[in-house]
Amino acid sequence: MKIFKDKHILQKEISKTKGISFVPTMGGLHKGHISLIKQSKKSKFKTLVSIFVNPKQFNKKSDYRSYPRSTKKDLKKLKNLKIDYLYIPTFKDIYGFKPKEKVFIDKFSKKLCGRFRRGHFEGVLNVVNRFLEIIKPRYIYLGKKDYQQLYLIKKHIEKRKIKSKIIECKTIRENNGVALSTRNLNLNDNQMKIASKIYYYLYNLKKRIKKNYNLFNPNRVKKDLRDLGACKIDYLENYNIENFKKINRQNKKFNIFIAYYIKNTRLIDNI
């Protein structure tokens, strides 16, 4: 595994390869990230993982500061996985140049997390646009756990006619159903149990409302979730996962999208 901190040295190395399969992360690596990396390793291109906690996508400084970091452990995991390249850029390496492409922000960025984390997706697309320009990957591996993010990156790539192909990767869950997330490191055992109950509640709800959508009563659901231990619910909405249209009748393709807090930890999922 070769480690790079400087984009020019990285680009020199990349120019010697047939192409790159790229897995962007913010570190705090868990089995979700690892499944993306394993899929990337199956491609015919060299696997490059990046670790960069992007300050521009955090709408609160305190959230940026408390975001879990575990670089030493991450390095060990990546070495064991035998990835080809690791890119750990500095802020200046990423933001010290003007990208050729302008970021395209689809209107769906205003919904769901965009309503509650102002500037979040602008920050995500800004950094992804820069990574795409530096690395020019053949493939980019993204998790469906962050479905809205994946959708907005897809729209940017389409609009700007960027030649990288997105590989959509399924959400990896703990045995108790909770989607793996770096933020789970901030949950204690009891809070993890709450997250698990909320997952099963939503899993069963989806089964029921798939059969009869009239059974969906958002206010009732929110109350039940609060009773289970969710402190604050930013949103609970159903969308068609292909075109992000809202659901108002029987439709088999929807997911339930949720963002909620357990104490100070904000969790998102789509089920």
| Binding footprint of ligand AMP on the chain (CB under 6 A) | 25-26, 32-33, 35-36, 142-143, 145-146, 169, 171-172, 179-182
What is the Cα 198 distance to its own chain's centre?
A: 20
In this structure, which long-range contacts are made by residues 221-225, counting pairs with CB atoms below 8 Å and at least 24 apart in sequence? 225/198, 225/201, 225/260
CA distances from 234 to 99, 114, 267 (A): 33, 11, 10
- In whole angstroms, the minimum distance from the beta carbon of 116 to ligand AMP comes to 17
- In whole angstroms, the minimum distance from the beta carbon of 120 to ligand AMP comes to 12
Closer to ligand AMP at the Cβ: 142 or 221? 142
**Active-site annotation holder among 30, 33, 120, 156:** 33
Alpha-carbon Rg for the chain, nearest whole angstrom, is 19
Distance CA 82, CA 95 (A): 29
Closer to ligand AMP at the Cβ: 202 or 209? 202
What is the Cα 176 distance to its own chain's centre?
A: 20
Closer to ligand AMP at the Cβ: 25 or 47? 25
- In whole angstroms, the minimum distance from the beta carbon of 218 to ligand AMP comes to 25
- In whole angstroms, the minimum distance from the beta carbon of 68 to ligand AMP comes to 10
33 is catalytic: yes
Catalytic residues: 33
